[in-house]
Amino acid sequence: PEEEYQWFYKGRNGWWKYDPRTSNDLETIYKLGDAQCELLICGMLYVFDFEKKCQYRKYNPRYKRNIKRDKKDAPCKGVSGVRLN
């Protein structure tokens, strides 16, 4: 089921989980088969490219990060910048 999967973005030395709302939005849009989408994160507009597997700031594409869809229990640093432990 859908709940097994989670979206992650890359940090300096590992992956962060997206916040649940953003992860669910990405999952829904990904399943529609769209190549790209745009979402606001903390007031900043990002483009998500499902083919290149990255996110970047719409108005400053230089700031790019890898993204992945993986099992919920895949290793991660934390959720949306909040560290585990």
| CA torsion through residues 57, 40, 47, 9, sign | positive
One residue of 29, 52, 69, 77 binding ligand V3L per CB under 6 A: 77
Contact set for ligand V3L, span 8-47 (CB under 6 A): 9, 11-12, 16, 18, 41
* Strand-strand pairing, 5-10 and 15-17: antiparallel
Identify which of 30, 28, 8 has the alpha carbon closest to the alpha carbon of residue 19: 8
Residue number, 1 or 12, with CB nearest to ligand V3L: 12
69 in contact with ligand V3L (CB under 6 A): no
Q: How many CB atoms lie within 10 A of CB 17?
A: 22
- Positions touching ligand V3L (CB under 6 A) are 9, 11-12, 16, 18, 41, 57, 63, 65, 77, 80-81
